[in-house]
């Protein structure tokens, strides 16, 4: 169904909500289409002309360096030199590709690409110089790309690396079009769950600003319920001054959201009121007292990409072209076609390298703003969000409240219960209306919230369940989805259970592991970190060492050890991190290590710094001073060890999130005797 299609009610009528004298029609949003790749589709990714090959990336490049890894697969299978293969980003004039999500670029895309390259190699060798080719699917063992000794498993020069360090244009913000203007869409300082629109503004004052071009009232679809007011200038530096001069008075309707977001997701209050609706583990713990009962609370956390999102839009003869840094160019195309009443064929979205996505650049926002302003002015328009807009109008890691309980007997966990209340992740309220979200809650819940709740250990009678509450600030996909907060909760409780059992945390985990790959990464990280050795103390500091492990999406494995030092004022410094990672066959060791390092830095943030300031249902953080991220001085020496494997390749982009936060939190407990349960950790909670 199209977004503009009216929703038929159960009785066959049209649902209309009447308020303030105007009808507001319930609409069906555009639904993302995410087909898995196949060999036939992969033929469109690779081509040959005059002795050179072109690889059109089926995935967005956002720093995971998938351009390098897939180029390695192509070169190995083609038998081509590194410099003989050019890499280009995809656009929507080609066959649809799945959104760049899920840490699956290698695990899902490498084999179809290798199959297509093998067919192309044979065709070129047979003298075919033009036309389409066909693919004879081969067993994976026959594909050259996955054999020992190929370029796979090495670390060649990073694709686009030279362009990055020399400042070549790679990002959407680098796009320049003839006669281009610069725009911004202003929105009310209120929760986007409240209905808001511009009421009045000072046109004359704005017109006096040098560079002023236009004020645009029809500035594209609202973001949730927030309608905007567009401004356009000849130079980006004029936009702040124009916005200030306009002095927009906003019409904000409806009651302000409840200020107590933490209270809205209080796990103890929710479980006290009844059973949580979505079950992850369906065991039935025996009644009785619990040896471990932990309440952990994690707040909103931002994606904090270094690049605020940007797009350039241009209309020509009724057709729209948009240049954007998006994780799902085809979804953006579909939304734009629907929003502006044109066919999908009339919209082209050219993807660009993304300066940090992490799941946050999957919906259509700035692209629609640029398209609306370009249509209104008849000229190309670039829109780049400010940092404050990135915080206020994007979606974020939702807060979560956990109660994890365990019972221990004879050194084993016999009973386990993990209750969680959070907000939506996959069915984000940034794109899904409340009525549809309720439907998904009834039918399937939200698998993003559940990710990582099924503890990877043998726990006897184990139960886990959750609920997802719509909040005034949208939650959504964030690195690892629920795996980071859930892994933190699970590994904190496992650590507490080991203390109850008077057992070594590593030995205790191994005693509860049935999966040999998980046991392998746990043993390996213990070995490389010399687990039994205590962290080196320093004058005036308490030191501790912590461990955690886990499985991501039943495919990739990680374990981590952290050393921390805590001073008398309770300030925590992570002094060393080790990580062991098993993702099957490693295409590019350097880039897998880089992904693990990135995960571990995110782990630092989750435990020690991530928190968005929210007032009256809206994010009020405007810069990194308000919502700090780990700095270079916060990052310790990191050792990443990769398990050598001949198993099929799997994802590496999010796996270490299952282990890093828990290792750091458990190290803090070892150093101070106080288990962190409120995040980010506050120095006052740990003061000597």
Which segments of 208-311 does DSSP mark as H helices, in order?
238-246, 261-264, 267-272
What mean pLDDT is predicted for residues 41-56? 96
Place of tokens 């390695």: 72
- pLDDT over threshold 70, residue 343: yes
Cα 481 to chain center, whole Å? 7
Please list, in sequence order, all residues whose beta carbon lies within 8 angstroms of the beta carbon of residue 73, skipping any fewer than 6 positions away: 110, 113, 114, 117, 145, 152, 587
| pLDDT on residue 28 | 84
Reference 87, options 106, 102, 69, 63; nearest CA is 69
Residue-by-residue DSSP string for 360-410: SS-S-SHHHHHHHHHHHHTS-EEEE--HHHHHHHS-BBPPEEEEEEEEEET
- The closest alpha carbon to 250, from 281, 284, 225, belongs to 225
Separation of alpha carbons 302 and 387, rounded Å: 11
pLDDT-derived band at 474 (thresholds 50, 70, 90) equals very high
pLDDT at 512: 98
Measured CA to CA, the distance from residue 223 to residue 78 in angstroms comes to 46
List beta partners, residue 465: 279, 419
pLDDT in tens, 99-143: 999 999 999 999 999 999 999 999 999 999 889 899 989 999 999
Q: Is residue 213 within 8 Å of residue 242, measured between CB atoms?
A: no
Q: What is the CATH number of domain 39-167?
A: 3.30.365
Task: Using pLDDT thresholds of 50, 70 and 90, give the confidence band for residue 533.
Answer: confident
Question: Is domain 261-301+396-686 in CATH 3.30.365.10, yes or no?
Answer: yes
Longest dimension (CA), the chain: 79
Residue 255 pLDDT level (bands cut at 50, 70, 90): confident
pLDDT tens digits, one per residue of 3-19: 333 233 223 332 222 23
On average, the pLDDT of the chain sits at 93
Which candidate, 254, 231, 180, places its Cα nearest to that of 24? 254
> What SS3 class is residue 293?
strand
State the Cα–Cα distance between residues 234 and 31, nearest whole angstrom. Answer: 36
pTM of the model: 0.94
From CA 101, how far away is CA 87, in angstroms rounded? 20
**Residue for token pair 């030191």:** 543
Domain edges within the chain: 1-30, 39-167, 173-255+309-384, 261-301+396-686
Tens of pLDDT, residues 366-403 = 999 999 999 999 999 999 999 999 999 999 999 999 99
Residues 165-170, mean pLDDT to the nearest whole number:
95
User: What is the side-by-side order of every strand in the sheet holding 381-384?
Assistant: 212-216, 229-233, 181-186, 381-384, 310-316, 319-324, 347-351
Same fold, 39-167 and 261-301+396-686: yes
What does each C-alpha distance from 282 to 279, 454, 455, 465, 481 come to in angstroms? 6, 10, 12, 8, 22
* CATH tag for 173-255+309-384 (out of 3.20.20.150, 1.10.1660.10, 3.30.365.10, 3.40.640.10): 3.30.365.10
CB 119 within 8 A of CB 126: no
How many Cβ atoms sit within 10 Å of the Cβ of residue 203? 11
pLDDT at 586: 94
In a 13 Å sphere around the CA of 474, the CA atoms on its Cβ side amount to 29
Provide the b/e sequence for 568-579 (b: ≥16 CB within 10 Å): eebebbbbbbbb
The total of other beta-carbon atoms located within 10 Å of residue 253's CB is: 12
pLDDT of residue 252: 96
Taking only the tens place, the pLDDT of each residue in 539-573 is 889 999 999 999 999 999 999 999 999 999 999 99
Q: What confidence score (pLDDT) does residue 401 get?
A: 98
Condensed to tens digits (0 to 9), the pLDDT of residues 92-108 reads 999 999 999 999 999 99
Going across the sheet that includes 637-642, the strands are 541-552, 556-567, 572-582, 637-642
Handedness of CA 339, 344, 349, 351 (dihedral sign): positive
Q: Each residue of 400-432: pLDDT tens digit?
A: 999 999 999 999 999 999 999 999 999 999 999
The predicted structure's pLDDT at residue 280:
98
pLDDT at 26 over 50: no
Read off the DSSP letter of residue 627.
S
Q: How confident is residue 254, by pLDDT bands cut at 50, 70 and 90?
A: confident
């Amino acid at each position: 169904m199209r977004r503009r299609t009216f929703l038929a009610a159960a009785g066959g009528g049209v649902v209309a909500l009447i308020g303030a004298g105007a009808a507001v029609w319930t609409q069906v949003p555009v639904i993302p289409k995410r087909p898995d790749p196949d060999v036939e589709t992969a033929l469109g990714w690779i081509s040959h002309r005059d002795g050179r090959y072109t690889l059109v990336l089926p995935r967005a490049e956002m720093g995971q360096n998938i351009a390098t890894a897939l180029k390695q697969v192509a070169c190995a299978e083609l038998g081509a030199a590194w410099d003989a293969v050019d890499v280009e980003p995809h656009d929507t004039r080609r066959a649809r590709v799945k959104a760049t999500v899920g840490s699956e670029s290698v695990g899902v895309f490498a084999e179809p690409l290798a199959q297509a390259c093998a067919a192309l190699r044979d065709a070129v060798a047979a003298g075919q110089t033009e036309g389409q080719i066909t693919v004879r699917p081969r067993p994976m063992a026959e594909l050259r790309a996955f054999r020992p000794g190929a370029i796979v498993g090495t670390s060649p020069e990073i694709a686009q690396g030279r362009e990055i360090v020399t400042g070549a244009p790679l990002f959407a913000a680098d796009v320049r079009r003839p006669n281009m203007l610069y725009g911004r869409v202003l929105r009310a300082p209120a929760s986007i769950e409240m209905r808001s629109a511009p009421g009045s503004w000072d046109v004359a004052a704005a017109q006096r600003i040098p560079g002023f071009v236009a004020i645009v009232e029809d500035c594209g679809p609202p973001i949730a319920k927030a309608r905007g007011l567009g401004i356009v200038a000849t130079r980006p530096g004029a936009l702040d001054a124009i916005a200030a001069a306009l002095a927009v008075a906003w019409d904000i309707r409806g009651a302000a959201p409840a200020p107590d977001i933490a209270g809205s997701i209080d796990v103890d209050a929710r479980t006290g009121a009844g059973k949580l609706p979505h079950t992850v583990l369906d065991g039935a713990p025996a009644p009785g007292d619990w040896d471990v009962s932990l309440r952990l609370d994690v707040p909103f956390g931002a994606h904090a990409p270094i690049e605020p999102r940007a797009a350039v839009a241009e209309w020509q003869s009724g057709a729209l072209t948009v240049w954007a840094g998006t994780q799902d160019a085809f979804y953006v195309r579909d939304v734009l076609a629907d929003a502006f009443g044109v066919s999908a064929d009339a919209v082209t979205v050219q993807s660009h390298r993304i300066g940090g996505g992490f799941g946050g650049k999957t919906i259509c926002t700035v692209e629609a703003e640029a398209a609306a302003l370009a249509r209104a002015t008849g000229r190309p328009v670039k829109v780049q969000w400010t940092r404050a807009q990135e915080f206020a109008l994007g979606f974020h890691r939702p807060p979560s409240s956990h109660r994890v309980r365990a019972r221990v007997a004879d050194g084993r966990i016999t009973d386990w219960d993990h209750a969680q209340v959070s907000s939506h992740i996959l069915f984000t309220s940034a794109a899904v209306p409340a009525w549809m979200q309720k439907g998904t809650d009834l039918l399937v819940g939200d698998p993003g919230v559940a990710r990582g709740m099924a503890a990877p250990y043998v726990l006897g009678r184990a139960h886990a369940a959750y609920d997802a509450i719509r909040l005034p600030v949208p939650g959504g996909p964030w690195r690892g989805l629920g795996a980071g907060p859930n892994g933190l909760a699970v590994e904190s409780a496992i650590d507490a259970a080991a203390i109850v059992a008077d057992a070594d945390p590593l030995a205790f985990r191994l005693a509860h592991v049935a999966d040999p790959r998980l046991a392998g990464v746990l043993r390996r990280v213990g070995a490389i970190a010399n687990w039994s050795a205590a962290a080196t103390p320093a004058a005036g500091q308490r030191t501790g060492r912590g461990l955690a492990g886990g499985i991501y999406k039943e495919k990739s494995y990680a374990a981590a050890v952290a050393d921390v030092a805590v001073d008398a004022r309770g300030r925590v410094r992570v002094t060393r991190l080790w990580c062991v990672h098993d993702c099957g066959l490693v295409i590019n060791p350097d880039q897998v290590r880089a992904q693990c390092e990135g995960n571990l830095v995110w782990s630092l943030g989750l435990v020690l710094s991530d928190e968005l300031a929210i007032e009256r249902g809206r994010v009020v953080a405007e810069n990194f001073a308000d919502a700090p991220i780990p700095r270079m001085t916060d990052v310790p020496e990191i050792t990443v060890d990769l398990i050598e494997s001949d198993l099929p390749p799997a994802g590496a982009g999010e796996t270490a999130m299952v282990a890093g936060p828990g290792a750091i939190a458990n190290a803090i407990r070892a150093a101070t005797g106080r288990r962190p349960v409120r995040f980010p950790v506050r120095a006052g909670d740990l003061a000597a």
